[in-house]
Structures are given as structure tokens and as C-alpha cells.
Amino acid sequence: MSSSDAAGDDEVVHDFAPLIVVYRSGRLERPLATPPVPPGTDAATGVVSRDVRLSASSFVRLYLPPPCAAAAGGGGGGERLPVVVYFHGGGFVIGSAASPAYHRCLNDLAAACPAVAVSVDYRLAPEHPLPAAYEDSAAALSWVLSAAEPWLAAHGDLSRVFLAGDSAGGNICHHLAMHHDLASRRLKGIVLIHPWFWGREPIGGEEAAAGEQKGLWEFVCPDAADGADDPRMNPTAAGAPGLENLACEKVMVCVAEGDTLRWRGRAYAEAAARARGGEASAVAELLESEGVGHVFYLFEPAHEKADELLRRIAAFISAK
């Protein structure tokens, strides 16, 4: 290979750093990727976790808080808790249920609610473009609702199933609540944390990031209809299915003051309220974290705003 060919192979063809960089040779770099951490007993919270493989390409990590963890160890039943099915973020190109940040987050969430938590690992683009992540997530939700797993069967209250997720994971929550076959078992609620929604026409202060967000969406979803106005990316676009079709009793949307996605998050909460015929505060809880940015709580778990976010989400989930 000539030096010019080698140089060509090192040419960047897609640059979505720090999420992913793609070279002409096909080489991929994911600068934020971190080595996985194993499940086990969390010393800080007492939460016990273990992995269950659902297919050759996906798995879930289950989290059982005390005292249910102690009851499970002794074979007992104990109190039935809400079930939180969590979908990680990362623009559909990075992230894992086994990453240190999400493992810590789910330990904290399971303990705070308390709840049985299920963190879903799904296939990533570009190796597996959308709808692969949606398909893996739908399969994981079906598995949860089947209650075939002993921890879920013994400790989970399947009349109180919540979907939660950040960024791309928030997008997945919306997609499942709209499109998954939940006719026989309605979800209790969905929690969208800094959800990744966008649109062809910028709103609020989106203009500066419009090209980057649109480019990443079309990279992970090559068959996107109408670009960033595809209903999977813009749930409030003209022609998108109405949010009155959300298969859940209640909605919580979390946004951050320093996040480019905050305008879409607010718009989603307002649209959900209108679709359900009420004020946003009555049917779609909105929490805005001041002075922080996108998914700040994953990187600064000790921040006072991270503590507030955790407490508010736990209260939303634990409320009868």
C-alpha cells in the first residue's frame, strides 16, 4: 500500500466526536467508551445485580434493592416493587448497560425508589443501524412483561412498570410507549431524561447545533423518512402519531438548562399535556435542572442537581 493510500485510509468521513469518529478505512473510534464493569453487590447501596443474556447480541442487567436482595438470597418473596426498565443513551452509537456510569446510576436508582431495575443493552450503529436498537429494546420489554425471570416474578409489580432512559434512551422510551403492543398491559409511566428529539426546523436556540444533530440522526438511521422530521426523531412533527396514543398513565420529562436538547424536551411535555387534555403540570411532569448540561448526572453524580434529579424521579416512580 502506498503512503497516499494509507493516508487516505486515515481520512475522517464522519466526525461526531466525542461519540464516534469514522475513517475511510472503516475504522471506528468511540472516544468516550469505557471498559465494562461486572454485576455484583454494590457496597454503597446494598443493591445486588446480575446479567441475563436475551440473545447473541443483547443482554439486560437486573438490579434488586435491599431488603428484596436479602429475601432473594434466602428464597423469600417480600414486598413487590415497581419495575423500571432503563435504556442508556449515547446517540445510538455508544454506551452499554455494563458501563461504569450506568451501573452506578442504576444502583442508585434502584435503591432510591426502591424498585426492581432492568438496564437494557442493545445493538449500536453504525454496525447495526436503526431500527436494531428499537428491536432489541422491544424484545427486552416483552421479556420483562412475561415475568419469566425469577427476580421479576418474585419481587416485581408488573402493574407498575416504568420505562426510563436518557438521550437516545429517552427516544427509545417514547418509541416503545407509542409502538409496542401494550394493549393488554398499560405502562404505569415513562421518564424521559434529556431525550434526544430533533426536527427539520430549529426551535429555541437549536440553530447552532442543527447540522450536527441532523447529521448524526441520518447516520444512525439511514432510512429516516423526511430526515430529522422522521416521527422517530420528531414526535411532534406534522403527521407524527399523536401523543394521546402513549400507552402509559403518566409522563415525566427532565431537561437541563445547558442542554441543546432542552427545547425539544419542553415541547414534548407540552404536547403530551395537550394530547391528554390538561395542563403540563397535571399530566406531564417537567423538571428543569438549572446550571448543568446534557446527562450531567452521569458524569457528576455527587452534584446537588444530580441528587435532586434522582429524588424527583424516585418520587415519580414510587407514587401510587
Domain boundaries, the chain: 37-318
Phi, psi at 4, each rounded to 5°: -70, -35
Among residues 315, 101, 135, 311, which one has the least CA distance to residue 221?
A: 135
Phi-psi region of 62 (alpha: psi -120 to 50; beta: other; left: phi over 0): beta
User: 281 pLDDT exceeds 90?
Assistant: no
Which of 83, 297, 311, 60 lies closest to 190, judged by CA?
83
DSSP 203: -
- Find the mean pLDDT for residues 234-241: 95
Percent of the chain past pLDDT 70, that is, above it, reads 92
Residue 65: count of CB within 10 angstroms of its CB: 23
- Per the prediction, the chain carries an average pLDDT of 92
Of residues 167, 184, 281, 318, which has the active-site annotation?
167
Q: Which among 183, 180, 6 has a CA at the least distance from the CA of 87?
A: 180
Say which residues have a Cβ less than 8 Å from residue 282's Cβ, sequence separation at least 6.
Answer: 273
Phi/psi of residue 253, each to 5°? -120, 130
Domain 37-318 maps to which CATH number in 3.40.50.1000, 3.30.1310.10, 3.10.129.10, 3.40.50.1820?
3.40.50.1820
Q: Give CA–CA dist 46/12, Å, rounded.
A: 45
Using 50, 70 and 90 to split pLDDT, how confident is the model at 9?
confident
CA 317 to CA 320: how far, in whole Å? 8
Q: Tell me which DSSP letter residue 8 carries.
A: H
What pLDDT, on the 0 to 100 scale, is given for residue 52?
A: 98
121, 188, 241 from 177: Cα distances, Å:
18, 10, 12
Per-residue pLDDT band for 181 (boundaries 50, 70, 90) equals confident
Q: Is the pLDDT at 278 greater than 70, yes or no? A: no
- The CA distances from residue 155 to 18, 112, 139, 265, in Å, are 39, 16, 21, 33
User: Phi/psi at 234 (nearest 5 deg)?
Assistant: -125, 85
**What is the pLDDT at residue 2?**
47
| CA dihedral sign, ordered 98, 100, 102, 106 | positive
- Phi, psi at residue 250, to the nearest 5°? -145, 160
Q: Report which residue type is found at 56.
A: A
The confidence score (pLDDT) of residue 6 equals 52
Answer for the pair 28, 126: CB distance below 8 angstroms, yes or no.
yes
Q: DSSP states of 269-293 as a string?
A: HHHHHHHTTS-HHHHEEEEEETT--
Alpha carbons 216 and 49: distance in angstroms, whole number: 33
Active-site residue 281, yes or no? no
Q: In this structure, are residues 120 and 86 in contact, taking their beta carbons and an 8 Å threshold?
A: yes
The pLDDT tens digits for 72-120 are 655 555 789 999 999 999 999 999 999 999 999 999 999 999 999 999 9
Question: Is residue 1 over pLDDT 50?
Answer: no
